[in-house]
């Protein structure tokens, strides 16, 4: 086997195994603060992204970024993949029937979290952080 064939096979194996966000090409204006903690389901396509700031009685409370993805796979298959990627995540089901995985990112501050909501052939990932963690573009 040539070196390029070995490298191509290794790259294909990594993609088949799924990618953490370090291997994912995030849009320039929607990069996560905790990219190493976010896992993207293999073969999913990014549909859109949006961010927001939340304020409380005492000022700026948090920032969020949410990314919406499409997949051809069933909800259960996507949820099973996330269950193996996020074994310590809290699991629940919301009122819309979405499977929800909630976890704190490694190195995050208290109150920061990442939430994965899995629906029918779609899912979204929301990262909630303290103010100032997301870079302005």
Domain boundaries, the chain: 19-129
pLDDT at 7: 25
Q: What is the pLDDT of residues 41-71, one digit of tens each?
A: 999 999 999 998 888 777 668 899 999 999 9
More confident residue, 1 or 12: 1
Residue 28: is it exposed, middle or buried by C-beta count within 10 angstroms (0-12/13-18/19+)?
Answer: exposed
- In the three-class reduction of DSSP (H, G, I as helix; E, B as strand; rest coil), residue 135 is classed as coil
More confident residue, 92 or 18: 92
> Is there a contact between 126 and 64 (Cβ–Cβ < 8 Å)?
yes
Mean of pLDDT over the chain: 82
pLDDT at 135: 63
**Which residues on neighbouring strands pair with residue 115, listed in sequence order?**
102, 126
Q: Which residues contact 6 (CB under 8 A, 6 or more apart)?
A: none
Of 129, 82, 131, nearest to 110 by C-alpha is 129
What percent of the chain stands above pLDDT 70? 80
Please report, for residues 48, 50, 51, 134, 136, the alpha-carbon distance to residue 30 in angstroms, rounded to integers and kept in the order given. Answer: 10, 7, 8, 8, 9
pLDDT band at 3 (very low <50, low <70, confident <90, very high): very low
pLDDT at 10: 30
Can you give the pTM of this predicted structure? 0.79
Residue 27 pLDDT more than 50?
A: yes
Residue 93 pLDDT more than 50?
A: yes
**Which residues on neighbouring strands pair with residue 65, listed in sequence order?**
51, 127
């Amino acid at each position: 086997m040539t070196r390029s064939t070995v490298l191509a096979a290794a790259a294909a194996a990594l993609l088949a195994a799924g990618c953490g966000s370090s291997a994912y090409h995030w849009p320039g204006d929607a990069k996560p603060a905790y990219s190493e903690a976010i896992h993207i389901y293999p073969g999913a396509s990014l549909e859109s992204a949006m961010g927001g700031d939340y304020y409380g009685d005492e000022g700026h409370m948090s920032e969020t970024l949410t990314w919406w993805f499409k997949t051809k796979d069933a909800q259960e298959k996507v949820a099973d993949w996330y269950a193996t990627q996020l074994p310590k995540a809290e699991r629940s089901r919301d009122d819309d029937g979405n499977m929800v995985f909630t976890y704190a990112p490694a190195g995050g501050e208290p109150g920061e979290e990442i939430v994965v909501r899995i629906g029918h052939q779609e899912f979204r990932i929301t990262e909630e952080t303290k103010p100032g963690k997301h870079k302005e573009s």
